Amino acid sequence: MYFVPDGTKVCGFYECSECGMRYLSLVIAPSMVCPYCGEEVDMELGPDDEMPESFEEAKLIRVVEGDDVEKMDVLLSLAITGGDCDWL
């Protein structure tokens, strides 16, 4: 497994509108900061500090469950390593 650990039952399938990256994440949310081009929010800031802008460019396309998790992981891994992208 490339994106998620072996045995993952449920994960989110995301596509980043900024860099076009498609990936799986154990975190399931309507949108999230892209781990490939986004900035992590600095958690050391105190509550009185100005909130850093976070860009949640990666949108959840769908929730992947069961055997589809492994299939999606393989397909997305192949896409990254130069495989063909016509599967979607």
Residue number with CB closer to Zn ion (52 or 66) = 52
User: Across the beta sheet with 10-16, what order do the strands follow?
Assistant: 22-25, 10-16, 58-65, 31-32
Residue 76 touches Zn ion, criterion: CB under 5 A: no
Residue 60 touches Zn ion, criterion: CB under 5 A: no
In eight-state DSSP terms, residue 85 is -
Residue 64 touches Zn ion, criterion: CB under 5 A: no
Residue 34 touches Zn ion, criterion: CB under 5 A: yes
Taking the C-alpha atoms of residue 74 and residue 63, their distance in angstroms, rounded to an integer, is 16
**Contact positions toward Zn ion, by CB under 5 A?**
16, 18-19, 21, 34, 36-37
